[in-house]
Structure 1
């Protein structure tokens, strides 16, 4: 495992595209969060709504580079034929698969933490009237939202990695993941029956974004931790499917 981790980390560190995708995660998250907070007018120490969730809105866009990275870490090797070299160097596929997942997790944790903390900092600078306690890691709900959002990004990366291992095609995998993250929520909004609408919102992988909420929990389709649990189930299911197929199929 140690040799496999070293090999995967070397690939992550030396290939250009992962670095740009990780930087893109930070840039996209902070940029959208900045725009979202800059259009809010605060009066008398009150901005209205959930300011923590508002400052973390950039994750809706920042998750795209994470998803692409999760796909590319495995499907990119299938596309170039590099997967054969990888499996020749480390014949045990039960070692290669978790090594890639662990490397991906570490990279997303770092970039996700930077992106989320930078977004909160921007929120404190742009919304100076929200008070000392709001947007502070000393506040329990804010702390849960911040670190839960980082965990959400990790789960999205692992979900994408698992799907890409099953599909083995970059374009199809990216399209499938983005459809789950963006098209499914749009479809749920078009359903007239509120019960079915709520059910779709509860079952999709983007349900994990509810972890960002710090107020007005009654309006959420699913609770913060329960929503993150749904995303985790999606990620685990895709990893199990991908791991099993990687062991049974050839490298072509």
Structure 2
């Protein structure tokens, strides 16, 4: 509890994380609203997933929440505060996972606000763009849409934790941001460029961004590389792996 209290005090008294999380909400909702305004469905065969259109802003919002996750520990290394933190809390793993827990709460709140705002924009805009019962969209507030929204919230939160783990392992904010963004965007780019369909599908199954998109899908589920919950599970494995790696580096290397 002492570690949690100390990390929460540290987190809430610094303005930068809150501005970044506010940016996640603003960017995700703004881009999502723009995408829903541009989407058009003029027939029952348009094949557009309204949930994924509404959550288009996550493509950019994830980059901001990744930066927030990196800086949650990267700033301590860049300023030298890490030595003071570990002196005050010698049990390094306790300190690290307290930091992860403190990051999770505001990241989850920001993700929920971002996804809720995007979903609301989609609910208000998409029916006017042809996403109606006549075109095979009886409701934009079904259980499937709710599952997609929950998947989107957890996806953004897990990206923040993945970024924290990478930053703990790399110990350099700029390098960690580059690695996380490369990890997010490299897999879908590589999958699009690869001419071998099985290999392309495998890349979509293993990359955190393609897997996260599967978690947000509401149509064509049988044709996806992964089921929505499998997709979210892949992202969770990436986040857990990064946290374990970061904790091991923290434990066995000098600060």
CA, structure 1 residues 43+204, in 2 after alignment: closer, same or farther (shift >3 Å)? closer
Does the CA contact (< 8 Å) of 1:77 and 1:83 recur in 2? yes
Q: Which moved more, 1:177-186 or 1:122-131?
A: 122-131
1:171-198 Cα offsets, whole Å, 9 max, x none, are 1100000001112210121111011011
Q: Distance in 1 between matches of 2:127 and 2:204?
A: 33
Q: Give TM-score, length-normalised by structure 2.
A: 0.92
Q: Distance in 2 between matches of 1:199 and 1:43?
A: 33
The one of 236, 239, 242 equivalent to 1:235 is: 239
1:84-127 Cα offsets, whole Å, 9 max, x none, are 11111211112101111001110111000000001011111112
Cα offset, 1:221, TM superposition = 2.0
Long gaps (5+) in structure 1? none
Total equivalences in the alignment: 248
Q: Distance in 1 between matches of 2:127 and 2:143?
A: 20
Q: Give TM-score, length-normalised by structure 1.
A: 0.93
Does the CA contact (< 8 Å) of 1:45 and 1:131 recur in 2? no
Runs (4 or more) in structure 1 with deviation over 2 Å come to 41-48, 128-135
1:63-91 Cα offsets, whole Å, 9 max, x none, are 11110111101111001001111111211
Long gaps (5+) in structure 2? none
- RMSD of aligned C-alpha atoms? 1.7
Aligned to 2:143: 140
Q: Where in structure 2 are the equivalents of 1:23-62 lying within 5 Å? A: 23-43=22-42, 48-62=47-61
Aligned residue for 1:57, secondary structure, equals coil
Matched, 1:79 2:83: no
Does the CA contact (< 8 Å) of 2:52 and 2:213 recur in 1? no
